[in-house]
Structure 1
């Protein structure tokens, strides 16, 4: 289990992520960021492949394989990100169930205070469903 952690995101990549999240509204938007030692190095915005994108987000298997292979090229880590258009930036029960399988970090944007800009929080979700919050630093 991770005690505390920081995910550092260059401002240019953070702005790309925000644009992707905003463009998906009112549905959930999703993607992956690739990181090396907690430093984000690449953004992979994806389409939301969920059957009901208004309340859940899923990345297609084809997109996941493409992203995984690219991240593997630079020996990075994948961080899943998605938006909560109408609720807090905190993992839902369904988010926790999905996250328990993969062990990825989850970065969640909330648009609940629109038209204010979305805000982001990052979480580690362990195999038992325990949630630990980290810190997002835009650099």
Structure 2
């Protein structure tokens, strides 16, 4: 179930373009990374390698990359937003995405390559501890 949009994430156009290029470069596998944000405004992009055992079906950021990203985000008292791509399916949280997000509390930006070779498109979601999904809006500034 998707609850009505109740939040907006603002992403500078240059950082959004970096994300799109990172996601496109990883196709046909899932690509992942993180964003640092302050007051729902993205201030930094952290593209990472996907270290999942089956990168065509799932994405995981390495523990060392997560520590590096957390430490950097702490320097500006920001929040982490997780992003990844779905090579074939809709930009919507899978059951596995929901399970991980329920525990992490991160916002999730999901890109979809459903219309490949066109650029992937993205949607943003909050997933609460009970697994309810709320879609937000991405504003490219």
- TM-score norm. by structure 2 comes to 0.96
Select the residue among 18, 36, 41 that pairs with 2:20. 18
Residue pairs, 1:19-98, within 5 angstroms: 19-98=21-100
* 1:7 alignment partner, SS class: strand
Q: Secondary structure at the match of 1:67?
A: helix
Matched residue SS, 1:56: coil
Q: Secondary structure at the match of 2:138?
A: strand
Q: What is the alpha-carbon distance in structure 2 between the residues aligned to residue 114 and residue 24 of structure 1?
A: 13
Deviation at 1:117? 1.1
**Whole-angstrom CA distance in 2 between matches of 1:3 and 1:87:** 21
Match of 2:101 among 96, 99, 102: 99
Alignment partners' CA distance in 1, 2:121 and 2:68: 28
Partner of 2:127: 125
Call closer, same or farther: CA 1:61–1:109 in 2, change over 3 Å.
Answer: same
Gaps of 5+ in 2: none
Deviation at 1:3, TM superposition (A): 6.6
Number of the residue aligned with 2:112: 110
* Off by >6 Å, runs of 4+ in structure 1: none
Provide the aligned C-alpha RMSD in A: 1.4
Secondary structure of 1:58's aligned partner = coil
Aligned positions, number: 139
Deviation sequence 1:65-108 (CA, Å, 0-9, x none): 10001001000000000000100000000000111111000000
3-state SS of the aligned residue for 1:53? coil
Q: TM-score, normalised by structure 1?
A: 0.97
